[in-house]
A and B are shown apart, each in its own frame.
Chain A
Amino acid sequence: MTTERDEVKLIGTWAGGLVMRVMIALNLKQVGYKLLQETPGQKSKLLLQSNPVYKKIPVLIHNGKSICESMIIVEYIDETWTSSGWQILPSDPHDRAIARFWTAYIDDKLPGLFPMLMGIIPGNTVTAAERFTACLQPLEEAFEKISKGKSFFNGNEIGYLDIALGSHIGWIKAVEKMANVKIMTKEKTPRLVMWAERFCVHTVKEIMPKIEKLIEYTELIKLSLITATPRN
């Protein structure tokens, strides 16, 4: 249930792909919130209190209650704020299962591919990029069927699976530039390239961080890793 005095806070950073998922969902539902920025390399007391198990962003705090894990938060937002008319998950249980399956796939396969491309861990970035493209291939092939020939995975409007993958677009473009590689291309992933273009011009475009800022942010992360004091 939501009230006039709803208090919504989001612990995260403007650069976080997973945090972006939550920001998109809140924006789609027209829910006002306060972003509590975390400093790279440090974890605030509030974060540690709100997410003692993982100690990670994003965390949504709704009227004092903490909800963790980005796509769980997105689903919570979908179920809690229902008056805007915007539905993030589709209605049909089978369509919902498809969206959940592919989201689990994205969250299993993609995150681990970024650090090498960002230069945070050593490795062959060309191979890493090829691996990334290969991971996107099944989504590329499934796009027509899932979207039912429409513009987004969710149909005419962006939804759960669009948010899950779309939150990575900024970082994909950033690492393509940083590592001088290609991941999403017209040759290998034409449908995803066009879907990404549509996603980026959607109303959520204000939330999408600029590539140059993400590249700067990566340098900050690398610096904080070098200068971090050893943990107890």
Chain B
Amino acid sequence: MVPNSEVRLFGMWASPAVWRVEWALKMKGIEFEYIEEDVSDKSSSLLMYNPINKQVPVLVHNGKPIVESLVILEYIDETWNDKPILPVDSYERAKARFWATFVDVKCREAARKSFFGEGEERENGIENLEIQLKALDEELEGKKFFAGNSIGYTDLVVGWMAFWLGVAEEAGDFKAVNSSKFPFFTAWIENFLQDPLIKNNLPPRDKTVEFFRLFRQAGSCAKANVK
């Protein structure tokens, strides 16, 4: 426990990176104040706390900001060190961190191409996603969750693929997740979304699909370089 702790989280309701921080805070039973940001009109607080990337999530702990969701997760685990989220063993920790960068860099890029791309770019995105899903599927064989019998760090970081990938598929009209090709991954999605921590801590699906549909339209019109 960290005494006299003031924890604030700047976020945006549809952002998977924000939700993974919320999941971590709730897993640890940490009380926090949530501040919703309008990302089209960012607050002066957000810009002050995150001048480099100007993005959510930002965790502010006793006035000190921590940015980048993976960095925030490590910070939370180190600061409130009961109920560890990361594995204890250093090799397992290295594996967990490996999967985190894999999904946040590789899978995200492939999902972005599949969602925003057209023609060859889209096909390439979906092809890459399938290769990546295969790797994740193999990692899950024989396990309920990436972390074992209960949710851990890797599940939290891959978590966006359990919900937001399905949303992107619907809003972007493509399909990558396939239960016969990726049986373990599909089972993991089900287990993850049914877990009490996650089930009650997700944005409303219809609203999120609609948001992503509009996001895609805006992306196509502006040919924006989005993250």
Contact = CB atoms under 8 A, between A and B. Distances in A.
Are A and B associated in one complex?
Answer: yes
B33 to A, nearest CB: 19
Contacts of A100: 68, 70-71, 74
A24 B135 CA distance: 31
Contact of A93 (B67, B78, B91): B78
* Residues of B in contact with A, size category: 20 to 34
B75 interface: yes
Interface string A99-120: 0110011000000000000000
Interface stretch (B93-101, B111-119, B140-148, B218-226): B93-101
Interface in B72-105: 72, 74-75, 78-79, 90-91, 93-94, 97-98, 101-102
Interface of A: 53, 62, 65, 67-69, 72-73, 75-76, 79-80, 93-94, 96-97, 100-101, 104-105, 138
Contact of A104 (B61, B71, B93): B71
Contact of B52 (A65, A79, A138): A138
B66 A76 contact: no
Contacts of B67: 101
B64 interface: yes
B101 A69 contact: yes
Given A69-B97, A75-B97, 15 more contacts: A68-B98, A69-B101, A72-B94, A75-B94, A76-B91, A76-B94, A93-B79, A94-B61, A94-B75, A96-B74, A96-B78, A97-B74, A100-B71, A104-B68, A105-B52
Interface majority SS (helix, strand, loop, mixed), chain A: helix
A67 B94 contact: yes
A79 B98 contact: no
Given A69-B101, A105-B52, A97 B93 contact: no
A15 to B, nearest CB: 23
Contacts, number: 54
Contact of B93 (A62, A69, A79, A93): A79
Interface of B: 52, 61, 64, 66-68, 70-72, 74-75, 78-79, 90-91, 93-94, 97-98, 101-102, 135
A144 to B, nearest CB: 16
A96 B66 CA distance: 10
A94 B79 CA distance: 9
Nearest to B61: A94
Nearest to A67: B94
Contacts of B74: 96-97, 100
23 contacts: A53-B102, A62-B91, A67-B94, A68-B98, A72-B94, A72-B97, A72-B98, A75-B94, A76-B90, A76-B93, A76-B94, A93-B75, A94-B61, A94-B64, A96-B74, A96-B78, A100-B68, A101-B66, A101-B68, A101-B71, A104-B70, A104-B71, A138-B52
A51 to B, nearest CB: 10
A94 B66 contact: yes
Contacts of A93: 75, 78-79
Contacts of B93: 75-76, 79
A105 B51 CA distance: 13
Contacts of A97: 66, 71-72, 74-75
A80 B93 CA distance: 11
Given A72-B101, A94-B64, A105-B52, A67 B75 contact: no
